[in-house]
Amino acid sequence: MARHREFDPRQALHRAMLVFWEKGYEASSLRDLTEHMEISRQSLYDTFGDKHQLFLAALDHYEQTVLEPAIQKLSQPDSGLNTITEVFTEIRSGILEKGPGACFVAVSAVDLGHLDGTVRAKVQAYIHRLHHAFTVAMQNALDRDEMIRQDRNPRTLAAYLISSLLGLGILSRSGIAAEDLHGIVDTILSTLTAA
């Protein structure tokens, strides 16, 4: 008879994601992971596979819990400038207040993207989906005259927002004051409607 799991795999995965997010892949030991996940090493192997498989599952969990809600909002037919502002602010607040400062996708890209083709492919897919969603909302905003300048390229503006999000994460991890970060966010968003 199979033994019943005595832990919630989703909750354990969320805890593993936070460890990887804060420490990076290499610096996250199996001891760190099992202690934070509150499971045994054998349970980790039985449920998630090895450390690398756990890391990939943590990346997917981040996409589902942080990126997917944002992508869904931005992709709606009635999305526009207000949606862009709301989502951008939510992502930044989530990273600054709930996460370890920088986007987990960005951390993963820097940590492993140049060495691990699977991680690189996942990161590229996540960024592509987010870029497409921001582009949809940006085009909606342009179509409804919510932007002052109509000569702006929605794909370029979407890429600008994503690069800004990633850059803000680096600044946050470097120790810049929270009030300065919020001021930078306001400045970034103000450029969308600037003449």
- Of residues 1 and 166, which shows the higher confidence score? 166
Q: Which pLDDT does position 30 carry in this prediction?
A: 95
Q: Which domains does the chain have, with CATH numbers?
A: 59-190 (1.10.357.10)
Take residue 109 and report the two structure tokens written for it: 């890209």
What percentage of the chain carries pLDDT values higher than 90?
48
Q: Which of 94, 128, 90, 84 has the alpha carbon at shortest distance from 109?
A: 128
Dump pLDDT digits (tens) for 128-175: 999 999 999 999 998 988 876 777 899 999 999 999 888 887 787 777
pLDDT reading at 47 higher than 50: yes
101 confidence band (pLDDT: 50, 70, 90)? low
Q: How confident is the model at residue 107 (pLDDT cuts 50, 70, 90)?
A: confident
Q: Which of 114, 5, 119, 124 is nearest to 51 (CA)?
A: 119
**Tokens coding 61:** 């969990």
- Residue 130 or 113, more confident: 130
Mean pLDDT over each residue of the chain, to the nearest integer: 86
Quick check: helix, strand or coil at residue 153? Answer: coil
pLDDT of the residue at 155: 93
pTM, two decimals, is: 0.84
Structure tokens at 35: 């202690």
Tell me which DSSP letter residue 117 carries: H
Cα 195 to Cα 178: distance, rounded to the nearest angstrom: 28
Cβ(53)–Cβ(35) below 8 Å: no
